[in-house]
Amino acid sequence: MRNYKMVLSYDGGRFKGWQKLGAGELTIQGTVEQAIQGLLGCPVEIHGSGRTDAGVHANGQVASMKVPFLLKDNFREELNHKLPEDICILQIEKVAGSFHARYSAVAKTYRYLVDTNEKPSVFMRKYVCHFPGELGVSRMKKAAEYLKGTHDFSSFTDDKSEEKDTTRTIYDIQIHCNKGRIEFVYRGDGFLQHMVRILTGTLLEIGSGNRCPDEIKSILAAKERAKAGFMAPAKGLFLESVDYD
């Protein structure tokens, strides 16, 4: 078998997330697998670096797949042609047999976009969380400092499976502000279900003055979802890139 790594971007708006579901449910994985099967004539399973939720976008999702033969040079072009216009394969390369998009990943970067204007930009409206009003950026930056590092993030996830390890390391959180558009960039070794969206919701509540930056410490310590802020909507979230060694 030959092993391939691919980098994808997609507008998640129409899809019920990355992970394949039952018949008739539109997903990214399902759509890409079906297009590949149409080209290769045999069923292929692709493994994403992780699931993205319904409505979440990607600039650089990574998936791996094993196929029984060498792919043609123009396979990427043919696949893009077969895929709908809201999924694009940016890159395909042959990799060592040991590579796995999920298990080989060492870091992930997510970007979250917020529009604080009275009415969101007509062109970006499908790709932002609309959160009108003034936000204290320095308050949010202070709170982000408490989030960085290795913590048990069980307050920041909706995943209730008890045995799961909920410790993650956030390497960096950047917050950029420009003309009412606020961009949160999170880089870490991995993120729990809904974690980036709950982190963002909590930071927005801190930015709007409804919570103090220091509260992050007690939220982390509580290990209780109810202590954290609201879950920001899927449409503002982008899986930016996945790093490998």
Give me the residues that bind a copy of itself (CB under 8 A), please.
9-11, 57, 77, 80, 85-88, 118-123, 125, 127
Residue closer to a copy of itself (CB basis): 15 or 153: 15
Residue closer to a copy of itself (CB basis): 28 or 219: 28
Shortest spacing between CB 122 and a copy of itself, in angstroms: 4
Residue closer to a copy of itself (CB basis): 11 or 215: 11
Residue closer to a copy of itself (CB basis): 91 or 218: 91
Shortest spacing between CB 136 and a copy of itself, in angstroms: 23
Shortest spacing between CB 212 and a copy of itself, in angstroms: 30
Residues whose CB is less than 8 angstroms from the CB of residue 232 and which lie 6 or more positions away in sequence, other chains included: 112, 114, 129, 197, 198, 200, 201, 204
Residue closer to a copy of itself (CB basis): 10 or 153: 10
3-state DSSP of the chain: CEEEEEEEEECHHHCCCCCCCCCCCCCHHHHHHHHHHHHHCCCCCEEECCCCCCCCEEEEEEEEEEECCCCCCCHHHHHHHHCCCCEEEEEEEEECCCCCCCCCEEEEEEEEEEECCCCCCCCCHHHCEECCCCCCHHHHHHHHHHHCEEEECHHHCCCCCCCCCCEEEEEEEEEEEECCEEEEEEEECCCCCCHHHHHHHHHHHHHCCCCCCCHHHHHHHHCCHHHCCCCCCHHHEEEEEEEEC
**Which residues are part of the catalytic machinery?**
53
Shortest spacing between CB 158 and a copy of itself, in angstroms: 27
Shortest spacing between CB 116 and a copy of itself, in angstroms: 14
CA distance 59 to 42: 28
